[in-house]
Homo-oligomer: A and B are copies of this chain.
């Protein structure tokens, strides 16, 4: 056996305080057992990888199993935990906040739990955002609401200033709920803490409605997103069939990956075309999208197109001037409006009357409350994040891989964004469901 496992979680030090949670230490007591730091889950679950490890005498890549530890690093009685939410809205943020609070307050009896207002901005004193002191009453009903109780903001803040604030306010654990940028910030905060020799844990609960956190099965809010998007697609289909040669274009979230667009199209199978950042498609030419759309329209006299916001960026590069002339700056960045414009132009040219409806429901979707499965998922992510942080782990995110909850170093999930594998079975399912051409180039 060779190769050091590079997915180990950093710890603030020896965990020696007994957990106040009364669990079993042995099986057969009909009660959950503490999880050992050495419990590991395989990352690649194929027999091929197993055989390859044996052949090459290597250790498989593994992740640390999440769960309550018998020994804590932080003494709950004197611990202050803080929660911050950053970036765009996503269903489930309030569920995560509520469950973090519940686990800290009821299971671990942590003395003080504070909320940082408006994202990382709230850690910069100059912004004048006071902390929120959490109580059971404050969080009682927030799982029913979308959005974030704490408010959010985008963009980076000075890492030293933020660590100053943590230090000054005697914060022992910082839970950050946010996406790629937020997690990079959390890692930087963790490194600054390390540099200063402080004992502050930084834990991340990855938030990306786009479902594009690397390595993970899924991110919270994503399932709600396409759950909320589904009746919108159904209604868009009503618009399309409601007119002769009716075309509905729905733009859904997905900056760098098309998980929401693709999942919605499978879930609500009235979609004829799914355009996502992962595919490079041409508009014109005999194999281009417009020709495919024409065939569909001539056959059925209506079409539903779902486009991820990050799709077709190549079209802007090559078509800058034309777009400029027609409708100004906005269209440059909006693939939905751009498509609407080009589709109209195209059918006008071939003298086919169409009725085109453009629908952009993003803000409605991301601010919706979490559905039941996401609520459950948020709850479990939050509890596991608390277990890890109380044990003194830091610079980690909680996530699920292969249907197991695991701790992963932040640095491992921010390297790149997860994308739909164009050679994978999921994208093939989309092609099968929509009937769109395998290639539109």
Contacts and interface: CB of A to CB of B under 8 A. Distances in A.
Interface string A393-407: 000000001111100
A87 to B, nearest CB: 10
How many identical subunits does the complex contain?
4
Q: Choose among A42, A45, A375, A422 the residue with the greatest number of B CB atoms under 10 Å from its CB.
A: A45
B235 A372 contact: no
A333 to B, nearest CB: 13
A60 B47 contact: yes
A109 interface: no
Contacts of A156: none
Interface in A348-375: 357-361, 363-364, 367-368, 371-373, 375
B429 A29 contact: no
B47 A41 contact: yes
A108 B345 CA distance: 36
For the side of the interface on A, what is the size category? 35 or more
Interface string A155-187: 000000000000000000000000000000000
21 contacts: A22-B438, A24-B423, A32-B427, A33-B423, A89-B242, A118-B244, A129-B244, A144-B144, A146-B238, A147-B235, A151-B243, A151-B246, A230-B372, A231-B368, A236-B363, A236-B364, A236-B367, A263-B372, A268-B375, A373-B373, A379-B429
Given A39-B46, A99-B269, A223-B372, 12 more contacts: A89-B238, A89-B242, A102-B269, A230-B375, A238-B367, A248-B363, A267-B372, A328-B328, A359-B363, A379-B433, A380-B429, A403-B403
